[in-house]
């Protein structure tokens, strides 16, 4: 028994423990927000599931610990966070929601409680926490990249990866328990005076802002790619490369931090916050109207600006400046460790600076998309997606003023050569695996031969990759699509590359698995529900445009697809929505203004109108209903349609009923 204790204690690694704990927290935070959205808000009328937001207020439990938190208590809380993370992917529906909520709750107790422990190595521990967070983010990027943005460690049989990490983290927790490093009973800062609640709260805001910025943007680089239409592989390499430089620098020579003055930190943080905000804002610009959509129908349709190289300047600067978030985490952690706050104080500060703050930021990111459904408060957030990034950037910058000058002083590294070698080996494997994964999962379509005599066309509202019961269902929808084997595929509600969809990119996932060309539009920063077109044939002259709406921003996608040297189709993926017939009419008139004068039109999507309505009648005056052509009657009670230029021949037309989404898939076969 003594030998076992010695082995565990000797091999205890705080770096290993927190790398895994931080990774699990980011995974569960993402899942919890996604589940709350899917169960409570996806139907656009809040349900009782919204009460799951209370999980974020678990730090209030620390108010009941007046003096100390024992290592045994910390061990139990940490183990519960790990176990619930491992179990969560094995379940569905509300069970997933509860397990992810418990895991997040436990972390929000474990992490602040850790700062109350009797630590006399604040410098090394601060560096360890910063390195751990950077490694956790690197692992998240790796796990998402190799599986086309779905975290592979939470997917199918690959969950064994998560279990291995969980077992390692559990062993490290045992090591922490056996070391018997008890917390101080008196909470003082490094000058012997009790730290004020305001100071602790300020540092908490800074620490949590780091988590929020990473969660909103950096755990999955496809998020940034969809903001900007930037090259996914280049963005992934850039984000991971800068993160790697931080890890290497902090491992080899942390005393380089001594050359950074306080004013440099403020400037660096300010420039990062500015570049992060501008990265979004420059892609929200609406022709002739700035970053606000007009409220007059006559202004539409509005064609989105084509992306220019100058719009990528803030993106490049943001990536180059991104190591500051990990440097801030090191400094803020060191400052908090020196304070050694009482559990009651840090519990209150995390209830406000983590719980309430995270809840507010969730809504600040979601409301620009669903503003019309929460009109009392939502309209104020229309077109303010950038604000959800400016706020945590500012709240990360301001606490830097609370960091004392001596906190920025670093001694020469005390890392052992063996530890350095392990860190660099792991980092090398992560970097190579991520780059290889990004390249391998990029589609490389082979254009079908010109001998084809017919094409299969399909439209599918995928409800952000979620099925009728509210569970993530990428693979179920993928199998349905494969069963049809379309040559051209239109998707609607394909916008989950935000926290509401777990920062997963369903279009990238489908394009990879189907090996098809793809275009998703408009950019995610303009907060439409997203439309996309995938094709076995190359896409050209891609464009996104917007229609008038009174309750959510409406976007559509347009491309040209060349089948052979003499035949090119003009293809549209469309998803209008409106509360009144007048607005529905505006929208279809705006769409038809894009169609008029074009040949070989394939106009498809979830139109939210049924046959023989005024909007349907307007459409069939210009285009032909594919179902009516094939079966000599309109499809009763259907809102998913494919309209074609007159003269095309429909060989078959079928609806595949609901189940994989809340909409049926609709496909037709046309003669070339």
23, HSE (Cβ side, Cα atoms, 13 Å): 29
pLDDT-derived band at 514 (thresholds 50, 70, 90) equals: very high
Q: Tell me where in the chain the CATH 1.20.1250 domain(s) lie.
A: 2-440
pLDDT at residue 185, rounded to an integer: 46
What pTM was computed for the model? 0.94
Q: How far is CA 656 from the centre of its chain?
A: 30
pLDDT digits (tens, 9 = 90+) for 158-212: 999 999 999 999 999 998 888 765 544 444 444 446 789 999 999 999 999 999 9
Query: What is 2-440's CATH number?
Result: 1.20.1250
pLDDT at residue 416, rounded to an integer: 56
The whole-number average pLDDT for the span 504-509 is: 96
Helix or strand (DSSP H, E) at 644: strand 640-644
* Residues 6 or more apart whose Cβ sits within 8 Å of residue 464: 42, 493, 494, 495, 496, 500, 501, 506, 529, 530
| Cβ atoms 543, 556 nearer than 8 A | no
pLDDT digits (tens, 9 = 90+) for 51-90: 999 999 999 999 988 777 888 899 999 999 999 999 999 9
- Considering the domain delimited by 454-671, tell me its CATH architecture: 4-Layer Sandwich (3.60)
pLDDT at residue 384, rounded to an integer: 94
Q: Tell me where in the chain the CATH 3.60.10.10 domain(s) lie.
A: 454-671
The whole-number average pLDDT for the span 563-577 is: 92
Give yes or no for residue 142 having a pLDDT over 50.
yes
pLDDT digits (tens, 9 = 90+) for 211-242: 999 999 999 999 999 999 999 999 999 999 99
Give yes or no for residue 670 having a pLDDT over 60.
yes
Give yes or no for residue 417 having a pLDDT over 60.
no
Report residue 588 as tokens: 């279809």
pLDDT at residue 44, rounded to an integer: 61
pLDDT digits (tens, 9 = 90+) for 612-663: 999 999 999 999 999 999 999 999 889 999 999 999 999 999 999 878 999 9
Q: Please state, in angstroms and rounded to a whole number, the distance separating the CA atoms of residues 126 and 298.
A: 57
Provide the angle, in degrees to the nearest 10, between the axes of the packed helices 197-213 and 387-397: 140
pLDDT at residue 188, rounded to an integer: 47
pLDDT digits (tens, 9 = 90+) for 339-395: 889 999 999 999 999 999 999 999 999 999 888 777 778 888 999 999 999 999 999
29: three-class secondary structure by DSSP: helix
Q: Please state, in angstroms and rounded to a whole number, the distance separating the CA atoms of residues 530 and 494.
A: 5
The whole-number average pLDDT for the span 7-35 is: 90
Give yes or no for residue 2 having a pLDDT over 90.
no
Q: How far is CA 537 from the centre of its chain?
A: 29
């Amino acid at each position: 028994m003594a030998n076992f204790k010695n082995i565990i204690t000797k091999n205890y690694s705080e770096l290993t423990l927190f790398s895994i704990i931080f990774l699990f927290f980011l995974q569960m935070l993402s899942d919890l927000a996604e589940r709350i959205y899917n169960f409570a808000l996806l139907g656009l009328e809040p349900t009782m599931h919204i009460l799951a937001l209370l999980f974020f207020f678990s730090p209030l439990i620390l108010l009941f610990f007046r003096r100390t938190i024992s290592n045994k208590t910390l061990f139990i809380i940490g183990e519960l966070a790990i176990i619930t993370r491992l179990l969560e992917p094995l379940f569905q529906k509300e069970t997933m929601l509860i397990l992810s909520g418990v895991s997040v709750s436990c972390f929000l107790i474990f992490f602040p409680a850790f700062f109350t422990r009797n630590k006399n190595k604040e410098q090394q521990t601060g560096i360890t926490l910063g390195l751990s967070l950077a490694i956790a983010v690197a692992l998240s990027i790796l796990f998402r990249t190799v599986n086309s943005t779905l975290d592979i460690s939470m997917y199918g049989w690959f969950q064994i990866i998560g279990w291995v990490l969980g077992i390692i983290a559990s062993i490290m927790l045992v090591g922490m328990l056996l070391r018997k490093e008890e917390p101080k009973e008196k909470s003082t800062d490094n000058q012997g005076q009790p730290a004020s609640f305001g100071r602790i709260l300020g540092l908490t805001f800074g620490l949590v802002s780091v988590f929020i910025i990473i969660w909103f943007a950096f755990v999955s680089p496809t998020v940034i790619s969809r903001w900007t239409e930037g090259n996914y592989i280049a963005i992934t390499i850039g984000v991971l490369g800068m993160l790697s430089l931080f890890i290497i620098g902090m491992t080899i020579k942390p005393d380089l931090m001594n050359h950074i003055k306080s004013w440099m930190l403020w400037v660096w943080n300010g420039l990062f916050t500015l570049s992060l905000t501008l990265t979004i804002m420059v892609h929200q610009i609406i022709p002739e109207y700035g970053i606000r959509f007009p409220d007059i129908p006559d202004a539409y349709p509005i064609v989105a600006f084509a992306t220019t190289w100058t719009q990528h300047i803030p993106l490049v600067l943001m990536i180059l400046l991104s190591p500051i978030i990990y440097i801030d985490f090191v400094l803020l952690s060191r400052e908090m460790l020196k304070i050694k706050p009482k559990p009651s104080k840090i519990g209150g500060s995390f209830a406000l600076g983590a719980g309430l703050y995270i809840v507010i930021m969730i809504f600040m990111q979601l409301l620009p998309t669903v503003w019309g459904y929460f009109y009392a408060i939502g309209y104020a957030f229309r077109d303010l997606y950038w604000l959800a990034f400016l706020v945590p950037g500012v709240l990360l910058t301001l606490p830097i003023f609370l960091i004392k000058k001596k906190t920025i002083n670093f001694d020469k590294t005390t890392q052992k050569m063996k530890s350095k070698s392990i860190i660099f080996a792991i980092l090398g494997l992560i970097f190579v695996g991520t780059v290889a994964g990004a390249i391998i999962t990029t589609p490389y379509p082979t254009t079908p031969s010109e001998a084809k005599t017919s094409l299969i066309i399909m439209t599918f509202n995928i409800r952000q990759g979620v099925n009728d019961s509210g569970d993530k269902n990428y693979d179920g929808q993928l199998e349905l699509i494969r069963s049809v084997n379309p040559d051209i595929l239109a998707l609607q509600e394909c916008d989950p590359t935000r926290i509401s969809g777990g920062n997963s990119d369903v279009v990238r996932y489908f394009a990879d698995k189907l090996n098809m060309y793809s275009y998703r539009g408009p950019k995610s920063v303009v907060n439409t529900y997203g439309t996309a077109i995938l094709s076995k044939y190359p896409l050209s002259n891609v464009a996104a445009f917007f229609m008038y709406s009174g309750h959510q921003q409406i976007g559509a996608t347009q491309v040209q697809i060349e089948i052979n040297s003499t035949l090119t189709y003009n293809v549209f993926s469309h998803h209008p929505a409106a509360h009144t017939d007048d607005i529905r009419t505006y929208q279809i008139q705006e769409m038809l203004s894009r169609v008029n004068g074009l040949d070989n039109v394939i106009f498809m999507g979830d139109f939210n109108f049924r046959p023989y309505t005024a909007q349907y009648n307007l459409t069939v005056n210009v285009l032909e209903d594919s179902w009516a052509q094939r079966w000599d009657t309109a499809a009763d009670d259907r809102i998913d349609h494919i309209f074609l230029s007159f003269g095309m021949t429909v060989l078959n037309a079928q609806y595949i009923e609901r189940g994989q989404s809340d909409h049926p898939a609709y496909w037709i076969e046309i003669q070339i």
